[in-house]
Amino acid sequence: MQDETAEQAPGDEAPPGSRQAGEVTCPVCGGSGRSGDGECQDCGGTGTVVRIVGDA
């Protein structure tokens, strides 16, 4: 899991380190961190996004 102080990427559903959330492969770039000729805008180039995986 990412450091809780990490910035939230545009494709994240929750801040990194949130309870009931986990990293998954970015659905836009397939985990490469690249989209087209540059950095993936959804994951910010990390290849992963944070998704809510549990219910409160």
Q: What is the pTM of this model?
A: 0.75
Query: Chain centroid to CA 9: how far?
Result: 6
Report the C-alpha gap between 40 and 44 in whole angstroms: 6
Helices (H), the chain: none
One digit per residue, the tens of pLDDT, for the chain of length 56 reads 444 556 888 899 888 888 889 899 999 999 999 999 999 999 999 999 999 987 75
**How do the domains of the chain map onto residue ranges?**
1-56
> Would you state the pLDDT for residue 6?
67
> Would you state the pLDDT for residue 16?
82
Report the C-alpha gap between 19 and 40 in whole angstroms: 25
